[in-house]
Each structure stands twice: as C-alpha cells, then as structure tokens.
Amino acid sequence: MSPSDRTRLGFSLSIAGGNARAAQYLGIGVGRRIIWVMALSGLLAGAAGVIQLTAASGRLQEGLTANYGFTGILVAFLARQRVVATVVVALLFAGLLNGGSALQSTGIPSSIAQIVQAVIIIFVLAGEVLGSYRLKARAPALRAAPPAPQAPVGAAEGSR
Amino acid sequence: MSFWIDALSTGVVLGTPLAFAALGELIAERSGVVNLGVEGMMLVGAVVAFVVGVNSDSIALAFLAGALAGGALALVHAAMTITLRVNQIVMGLTLTILGTGLSSYIGADYGNRPLKHDLGNVDIPLLSHIPWIGRIFFRHDAVVYLAWVAVVVAALVMYRTRRGLWLRATGESPAAADAAGVPIFAVRYVAVWLGGVLAGIGGAYLSVVYVRSWSDQLTAGRGWIAVALVIFASWRPLLILPGALLFGFIDALNFQLQAKGVSIPSQYLAMMPYVFTLVVLAVVWTRQRSRNWGMPRALGSPYEREARS
C-alpha cells in the first residue's frame, strides 16, 4: 500500500488518504496531515530541483527542470504510490528521456522520445484496465447449433 | 494614453486563444471530465493549422484542420477516461506530453516557412468609432469576435436548452442523469471532444493569426492558464470572457512594458494569472458556505454504471 504501512505515521496517512471521514472518526487530524505532507513533498521537490541544478545542468537557466515535475506525477501514479516502485519507474523514465537526447545525435528528432514516453504511459494505463477483463472465446458453431437437449426433455416428459 | 490603449487592444487579441481554450475546458469539466491536456491540444492544433495554412493558403482550412487535430487528441482522452475509466489527471498530463512531442515532430520543418495570407481586421460599424473603446474592442480580426459569440452561445446552450441541462446534470450527478435517461457517455464524449476542438482553434489562432510562424512550445504555457481560467471563472461560461480579457491584458502589458524598457521583471507579470486564480480561490472558498463553489460535483470521477454508489 501507500507510503509506508510499517509506521504509525505512514499508516495514518494511508487511512487519511483512503477515507478521510473514517480517519476523522479514528481521531486522525486529516487537515493537519495534509498540510504537513504538502510541505514535505514540496521539500522533496525542491531537493530534486537542487540536484538538477548542481549535478545535472550545472548552471541556473530558465526552464531548468524541463517539466520534470509533471513527469514526476506520472511516475508516482504508475508506481501506484509505492516507494520502491517509484525509484524503478523513475529510472525507466530517466532512461527514456536520456535516450531521446542521445537519439538526436543520430538525426532522429528528440521529440520522438516524448511521443514514445506518452504512448508507453497510455498503453500501461489502458493495459491496467483491459487486463482486468477476460476475453472469452466462444465457438460460433455452438451458437448456431440447433437446441439439442430439447428432444430428450420432451421425450422424458412424454414418458411420465 | 495611447500606451494603455495599445496594451488593452493587444490584450483583447491575446485573450482570444485563452477564451477558446478555457471555454473548451469548461465544457469538458461541466460534463465531469478534467482534461489537463489543454496545452498539448493547443500545440497540436497550432502546428497542424500552421502546416495546413502554409500548404493550402487558406486560413479557414487552417483553422478547420487545427480544430480537428485538437478534437482528435481529445478523443484519446475521452476513450481513456470515459470508457476505460483511467485517472483523468494522469491521462491529461500524458496528453500534454504527447501533444508537445507530436507538435514538435510535425513542425520540425516549418520553423522558417512564411504564411502568405493574412486575416484582415474587421471594423465593426458605429461601435469602432467610439473613442478609446472602439480601438480597444472593435477593430480586430473576425476570430476575436467569433470567440465572444462562442462564449455567449455556449452560455445560452448550457442554461437554456435541454442538451445544456444534460451536460450540467452529467457533471453534477452522472448516476441520477443516467437514471433519468440522459445518454451520459455520449454527452461526455461530445463535451471532451468539443473541448479539444476549441483548444485546437485557440492554438490555431496563435500560430496562424497572432505569431504567424511556428516554433516549439509556441503556446508557452497558455494551456495551463486556460485551465486556471476555468477555475477563475468558477465554471461559469459568461465569466470566461472577462477572465480571458484580464489574463490577455496582463500578457499584453508584459510585452508593452518590455518594449518601453520599464524595469519590472517580466516574470512578475507572467505569474499574475496564477496569483489571481489563487487569490480568487482563497477569497471565495473562505467566504462561501458551500465548499465546491460552482465546481461540478462529479468532476474527476469516472462513471461506472455497474458500481454501487
């Protein structure tokens, strides 16, 4: 489940997020938790910006984060809000983005990477839903076949 | 004086794409579907319109193509969120990424291509002779007036017709509307598609009429401002117009002040639309008893006929 169910805090957050009213009845301060969690996630986002500036780009420029914030939302969603899975999905997306800029040197426009990224997400999202359905193959011959059991039933009735 | 008239007049022009895109988003949201892909749909509408405009020399055809392209992208969102019931926020963000990539891919060879035709200004008789007001409002191209008409028509349809009632009912309570026989899935599909069409027209206006060229990220975040504008207008179509004019004016003021060399950093004005939206949200939400303040009640939640409510 979500953030961490191993600690009091993590569990109370899961409840507050899953059913705010139930959490209120349990005495969990939902509003206060939302404010703190928002501050915490802002802190992490800021840290991400610092890393991008100091480690990746090395200089301050406009559009420094290149919409990574929005990608971050998608990563969290695709990881279904599980902490470890977030890291894995984030690495996958980082590879996609970097691959895109590497493609540019071979003459393929880097916009392809964005398109591929979006298409992957769309297929994952659709696959999640479609995966919960099962296709049943039904032989068309069966439907067209004459109602076979009727005759024996009629015969049974006649014999009574 | 002429400085302010110029700024206001440009503001009316810059408010036009915002009005189109925000009106589209409003229609989609009133049916209960958030589409955060406005930015992507505007970009694709802009680039497709520009490409068609360059190759066909017809502005009308360019706008039609842009509208259809925006609508096509919106249909992806509709199929994913309405039929497959995917999370609307996630799908919308994905749509923006897709639209950004697609537009940059399609427009790669059109960076320096010129548009031959020009959409001339139409001076509205009598009204355009009013001092100041005439120059600000009534000496623009036809698409500007079309935006105003579209807003009024949308408001009339939404509040005065059966289809409009269907739209609002679907956004407030799809279960109740469904029980009353409203074809809610069709309503949502049409609403989301219309949202894409209008966003496409907004993008087309930017590339074909306003900038008259193509470059990556041409819309420069105007799609996001349109999303904020819907909240700013508290989901009421008629409020889209003053909101779009205000946000457009801020945008124009930014240009004019830069041109004049006034030493206000342009970033302050660029963040004003969001600040305004935040302030309006904070003020109205604390004043009003009912917490949702015009927000459609079913906004963001997919409708599942088989689910227990």
With helix as H, strand as E and coil as C, how does chain A read? Answer: CCCCCCCHHHHHHHHHHHCHHHHHHCCCCHHHHHHHHHHHHHHHHHHHHHHHHHHHHCCCCCCCCCCHHHHHHHHHHHCCCCHHHHHHHHHHHHHHHHHHHHHHCCCCCCHHHHHHHHHHHHHHHHHHHHCCCCCCCCCHHHHHCCCCCHHHHHHHHHHC
Q: Which residues of A touch B84 (CB under 8 A)?
A: 125-126, 129-130
At A129-148, the pLDDT tens digits run 888 777 777 766 655 555 55
- A81 part of contact set with chain B, CB < 8 Å: no
CATH number of residue B33's parent domain: 1.10.3470.10
At B243-266, the pLDDT tens digits run 999 999 988 888 888 788 777 777
At B179-217, the pLDDT tens digits run 999 999 999 999 999 999 999 999 999 999 998 889 888
* Domain-located, residue B295: no
* Domain-located, residue B7: yes
* Domain-located, residue B304: no
- A115 part of contact set with chain B, CB < 8 Å: yes
* Domain-located, residue B63: yes
Sign of dihedral through CA atoms B38, B42, B48, B53?
positive
* Domain-located, residue B294: no
Write down the pTM of the prediction.
0.86
Q: Which residues of A touch B76 (CB under 8 A)?
A: 122
DSSP letters for chain B: -HHHHHHHHHHHHHHHHHHHHHHHHHHHHHTT---TTHHHHHHHHHHHHHHHHHHH--HHHHHHHHHHHHHHHHHHHHIIIIIS---HHHHHHHHHHHHHHHHHHHGGG-TTPPP-----EEEPTTGGGSTTHHHHHSEEEHHHHHHHHHHHHHHHHHHHSHHHHHHHHHHH-HHHHHHTT--HHHHHHHHHHHHHHHHHHHHHIIIIIIS-S--TTTTTTHHHHHHHHHHHTTT-HHHHHHHHHHHHHHHHHHHHHHHHT--S-HHHHHTHHHHHHHHHHHHHHHH-SSTTTT--TTTT----TTS--
State which residue of chain A sits closest to B84, comparing Cα positions. Answer: A129
8 Å CB contact of B101 and A73: no
The beta-carbon neighbor of B90 closest among A67, A77, A115 is A77
Top residue of B73, B83, B87, B97 to mutate, by most chain A CBs within 10 Å, is B97
Q: Which residues of A touch B89 (CB under 8 A)?
A: 73
* Domain-located, residue B233: yes
Structure confidence at residue A98 as a pLDDT band (50, 70, 90): confident
Amino acid at B220: A
Q: Is the pLDDT of residue A117 over 50?
A: yes
How far are the Cα atoms of A44, A53, A108, B98 from residue A59, in angstroms, in the given order? 20, 6, 27, 28
For residue A83, the tally of other CB atoms under 10 A from its CB is 12
- A121 part of contact set with chain B, CB < 8 Å: yes
Instruction: Give me B48's structure tokens.
Output: 């497709």
> What average pLDDT does this structure show over B262-286?
79
State which residue of chain B sits closest to A133, comparing Cα positions. Answer: B84
* Domain-located, residue B306: no
pLDDT at site A145: 53
How many structural domains is chain B composed of? 1
* Domain-located, residue B129: yes
Structure confidence at residue A65 as a pLDDT band (50, 70, 90): confident
State the average pLDDT for chain A.
Answer: 80
State which residue of chain B sits closest to A112, comparing Cα positions. Answer: B101
The string over B100-123, giving b where at least 16 C-beta atoms fall within 10 Å of a residue's C-beta and e elsewhere, is bbbbbbbbeebeeeebeeebeeee
What residues make up the domain containing B106? 2-114+123-287
Distance from CA of B93 to the nearest CA of A (A): 7
ipTM above 0.85, yes or no: no
Q: Is the pLDDT of residue A12 over 50?
A: yes
- B285 part of contact set with chain A, CB < 8 Å: no
Domain range summary for chain A, segments of one domain joined by +: 1-64, 66-135
Q: Which residues contact A127 (CB under 8 A, 6 or more apart)?
A: none
Kindly state the percentage of chain B with pLDDT values over 90.
58
Contact assessment for residue B254 and residue B269, using Cβ atoms and an 8 Å cutoff: yes
> What average pLDDT does this structure show over B141-146?
90
- Rounded Cα distance between B48 and B208, Å, is 10
